Structure 1
């Protein structure tokens, strides 16, 4: 009577659709539970789904072949697209600061790891597909594994007589090594390099990227007679500070506060509300007067401050100068919040769908401006599947474009890993393509990333688990772990020495670069707790996209050149 339950729950060599879905859900749900278990403050996180999948596969659970291929590829696409959307804006802006140095060091480390993988293939009996699996596992890079499997599938279609090993086995064997290898290196580097965390934190607070992009406001009382009777435009020109906005002005002896234009003249003891970077604001106040303690200028009686969301096409992809809110409504935009970044509202700044802008002005005027800008938070909460799946389609098309290179057995493609990632990076950088926009709320991005990686890990884990134990014995898994140590530790040690002794990088930033170069969120989570700082996260996000792309290309090229 309960045969249907038995077929649904227990292993089957020929599973149908329902049984396959149950196995996927089992791997993901049990994996999430296991991933939350802490051992000395360290968790496996979402990667535990793959290890649970290996266990299920080893004990006879299977997934229908067609479903497995779909789930694996779809999960990978969702994961990398979510990453691109999340870090795109900060990724491109980082190149204006320390990002170039960070990415050169990170990419060089990736290439060095690829070279070591080549040497292992050349001077051992390991096949190139297993060597690439070792490399991807030793640096915990899932997109690289996905690209390798996709490339092997393409070669198999061209040459049906050839057979290849599944790189997932080697990946699964060395993955824990990649996770714990970085953590061990971080701890040893701190001890052997005699890092003073207090000193590192102080110097980092003064030099890191967030300090240069932070936007603050400060009250200034005009006391320098050299600027009496001059317009705000003239004052800014004479003090040679462009990245400043005067959002409010209160004349001396008056309690009336208003949003001034660039033509507004300032006088003795006027109070200004100055908005900009800390350095620019401090420089302006020092030149024009002194810090004021006036409270009337912050009053919401005459003018108010309100945040509005850009949700209408009339404001999307328009610059602040084109919107001209000051001349139309006597409103001043002071800041724009986008993807976790805070931007000064320059006239040339282009607005994207989902941006949050801070406006100062009259209440009635702000209501009128809302009709143009939108400010519909409900609309932002609604999933825009046209933008999401439209972006995924573009990414798949770009990833499927073949590049014919002489002497390679098959054309090289960006694939389902690099194609959607590059597409998401550029869509998030430029705010969209046509009707496809880049805005996806944070909750949806995290859900998409986690769902994608869970589907991928569950699929590859169950599939690899079928022969995991036999392969571990056959190929001597302990020897593979030994080989993986070369790929994990040698580039990592070189990175620490060059980054610290040659480039003189701050240790907090260096730790973030180590985690980002090895695309290891578990190591990042450990480092932020170990150092009690979010600075590693900023360096991690700076290099993650470019590193992921190079990991994908290195994995593909090694297989195409050496298979």
Structure 2
């Protein structure tokens, strides 16, 4: 049975793959279990790895380091690609307030970490690990470990601190939410209410009765109006046509306008009389409006179209078609001329069937093309991220240069590529399933590796007095910032319960707590807030763990 011993216990590349695969599979299976409505998901891989390490299973040091490093890089880069498209737009409007509150949670927890390290005489590397566990943030832990290695310090104690604090980090946010609900929530927050997205495309028909726009072209109206709109159909003398920019509007014309609901009063004053018919119902048969015109969906799959402005294609005047709406990542967008197209966009096109067929040839409309993973762009992005992570950055008050490392560099490049790649005509599109697969594989490898590494000394650490201090400190770092910023958000900023909980879950990088909120309370405010603060919060967590070690160690 020597082959079994060599397969599972003798250090080799095959043994490392077998052990990591078994630990990952067992962790993912156990992670599906729910206890009091809570499941740890992929995080359970971490604890299975700890158990394996405690039982004496080990890997070759170089293989273990490679698995941890490559898994971390793959995870954070794919995460950056996912959050990149909405990273900068989330900072506008209400997102500014949400992100400032989220930064408050992060800075309070970081300050508590430094104070508790000095006050309780806990080594700072251990305390930073506790911070990462208390905030359930594995990328931050990876960044902290890389910084410690660069400084010549052991990094295993940080993983131990994270492992000890992690369970209460998950539960602590949920307990804090229960306290917030009991003390701060208003009865109206617990009721189901209709939510409206005022930036969602809204369709309405108008009868022209404003003499000021008679014989004006649609292009002129668009230039002098501060309101964005698209006129998709025009009825005149019993016939329906596709208007172009040079089309003049006449008295008693009927037009079908796509705009946003918040702009409806302005357009009513501009055009005249709005018809009573509701054009926003999902069951409308658009092709029955006129037999000569059809409405079809075309998917952008042509690489040359990626990153181009819709108006620069001149599709409307060239082919007598109209593009009224764009569906991107499940969100409807108004098809204005300055809209930058991306691979995967689904355009609603109105026109004659032959014209739409020609437009489909230009835009691609080959869904199978999108299903092919663009692996070259992913690996090039990872290389650029590693290069950025290796650049030494001098910061005031820090003697040694700061490096973004394996976690910071790739996530920044991922965000930049996800946000600006299409504008630079880079083919960065990946399907949601492909992105989830990359993140899942990367995070599983990383969690399995650090779990095995920390497991050898985990249980003996927990039973020691300092283990109990770590657990208590982590619980305070989890709960106190959440409760304090909840008071600020709900009492001083007037935010509702759902938005506050989503902001808190996003700032703590705690999807388990978000699932609890969504399952327990009505509305989708929590999910919207979570998505708004998560990108900046994740980035700050990764960076701040390194800065703290550089400043105070």
TM-score (norm 1): 0.91
1:217 match: 203
1:332 match: 322
Pairing 1:261–2:244 present: yes
Out of 115-124 and 284-293, give the one that drifted further. 284-293
TM-aligned CA deviation for residue 407 of structure 1: 6.2
Question: Which digits, 9 at most, give the CA deviation of each residue in 1:281-318, with x for residues without a partner?
Answer: 45424652122549888526222222222222432222
Tell me the SS of whatever aligns to 1:125.
coil
Out of 70-79 and 334-343, give the one that drifted further. 334-343
Task: Measure, in 2, the Cα distance between the counterparts of 1:496 and 1:148.
Answer: 28
Say if 1:235 and 1:201 are closer, same or farther in 2 by CA, change over 3 A. Answer: farther
Question: Which digits, 9 at most, give the CA deviation of each residue in 1:394-423, with x for residues without a partner?
Answer: 111111111134764542111121211111
TM-aligned CA deviation for residue 216 of structure 1: 2.6
Pairing 1:452–2:435 present: no
Task: Measure, in 2, the Cα distance between the counterparts of 1:340 and 1:447.
Answer: 19
Pairing 1:273–2:256 present: yes
Pairing 1:176–2:162 present: no
Q: Would you say the 8 A contact 1:200–1:507 is kept in 2? A: no
Q: Would you say the 8 A contact 2:130–2:158 is kept in 1? A: yes
Match of 1:73 among 65, 69, 74: 69
Pairing 1:498–2:482 present: no
2:289 match: 299
Q: Would you say the 8 A contact 1:285–1:291 is kept in 2? A: no
Pairing 1:538–2:521 present: no
TM-aligned CA deviation for residue 341 of structure 1: 3.4
Match of 1:123 among 119, 123, 129: 119
Task: Measure, in 1, the Cα distance between the counterparts of 2:54 and 2:425.
Answer: 47
Pairing 1:375–2:359 present: no
2:509 match: 519
1:249 match: 234
Tell me the SS of whatever aligns to 1:249.
strand
Out of 124-133 and 56-65, give the one that drifted further. 56-65
| TM alignment of 1:99-110, pairs within 5 A | 99-110=95-106
Pairing 1:553–2:553 present: no
Match of 1:53 among 49, 54, 59: 49
Q: Would you say the 8 A contact 2:98–2:533 is kept in 1? A: yes
Pairing 1:390–2:380 present: yes
Q: Would you say the 8 A contact 1:391–1:436 is kept in 2? A: no
2:273 match: 289
2:282 match: none
Say if 1:235 and 1:153 are closer, same or farther in 2 by CA, change over 3 A. Answer: closer
Say if 1:407 and 1:296 are closer, same or farther in 2 by CA, change over 3 A. Answer: closer
Task: Identify unmatched segments of 5+ residues in structure 2.
Answer: 280-284
Say if 1:342 and 1:397 are closer, same or farther in 2 by CA, change over 3 A. Answer: farther
Tell me the SS of whatever aligns to 2:323.
strand
Task: Measure, in 2, the Cα distance between the counterparts of 1:223 and 1:442.
Answer: 47
Question: Which digits, 9 at most, give the CA deviation of each residue in 1:236-283, with x for residues without a partner?
Answer: 678x4521111112225x1x3221123323445533221121222454
TM-aligned CA deviation for residue 42 of structure 1: 1.2
Task: Measure, in 2, the Cα distance between the counterparts of 1:535 and 1:46.
Answer: 25
Tell me the SS of whatever aligns to 1:437.
coil
2:345 match: 355
Pairing 1:185–2:184 present: no
Match of 2:86 among 79, 85, 90: 90
2:2 match: 3
2:418 match: 428
Question: Which digits, 9 at most, give the CA deviation of each residue in 1:495-521, with x for residues without a partner?
Answer: 101111111112211111000000011
Match of 1:167 among 158, 174, 177: 158
Question: Which digits, 9 at most, give the CA deviation of each residue in 1:212-232, with x for residues without a partner?
Answer: 331132333445566555444
TM-aligned CA deviation for residue 434 of structure 1: 5.9
* Count of aligned pairs: 546
Task: Measure, in 2, the Cα distance between the counterparts of 1:27 and 1:551.
Answer: 27
Tell me the SS of whatever aligns to 1:212.
coil
Task: Measure, in 1, the Cα distance between the counterparts of 2:48 and 2:206.
Answer: 61
Tell me the SS of whatever aligns to 2:304.
coil
Q: Would you say the 8 A contact 2:207–2:274 is kept in 1? A: yes
Task: Measure, in 1, the Cα distance between the counterparts of 2:337 and 2:222.
Answer: 15
Task: Measure, in 2, the Cα distance between the counterparts of 1:462 and 1:284.
Answer: 63
TM-aligned CA deviation for residue 554 of structure 1: 1.8
Q: Would you say the 8 A contact 2:393–2:402 is kept in 1? A: yes
Tell me the SS of whatever aligns to 1:205.
coil
1:150 match: 146
Task: Measure, in 1, the Cα distance between the counterparts of 2:86 and 2:109.
Answer: 26
Task: Measure, in 2, the Cα distance between the counterparts of 1:55 and 1:286.
Answer: 69
Question: Which digits, 9 at most, give the CA deviation of each residue in 1:462-519, with x for residues without a partner?
Answer: 1111111122234532221111122111111111011111111122111110000000
1:34 match: 30
Out of 298-307 and 67-76, give the one that drifted further. 298-307
Task: Measure, in 1, the Cα distance between the counterparts of 2:364 and 2:523.
Answer: 37
Q: Would you say the 8 A contact 1:244–1:281 is kept in 2? A: no
Say if 1:201 and 1:508 are closer, same or farther in 2 by CA, change over 3 A. Answer: farther
Task: Measure, in 2, the Cα distance between the counterparts of 1:250 and 1:352.
Answer: 32
Task: Measure, in 1, the Cα distance between the counterparts of 2:144 and 2:212.
Answer: 67
TM-aligned CA deviation for residue 352 of structure 1: 2.5
Task: Measure, in 1, the Cα distance between the counterparts of 2:64 and 2:155.
Answer: 18
RMSD: 2.4
Task: Measure, in 2, the Cα distance between the counterparts of 1:527 and 1:282.
Answer: 36
Q: Would you say the 8 A contact 1:221–1:292 is kept in 2? A: no
Task: Measure, in 2, the Cα distance between the counterparts of 1:378 and 1:151.
Answer: 43
Out of 85-94 and 402-411, give the one that drifted further. 402-411
Tell me the SS of whatever aligns to 2:33.
coil
Consecutive aligned runs of 4 or more in structure 1 exceeding 6 Å deviation: 294-297
Task: Identify unmatched segments of 5+ residues in structure 1.
Answer: 157-161
Q: Would you say the 8 A contact 1:390–1:436 is kept in 2? A: no
Say if 1:197 and 1:63 are closer, same or farther in 2 by CA, change over 3 A. Answer: farther
Task: Measure, in 1, the Cα distance between the counterparts of 2:276 and 2:222.
Answer: 19
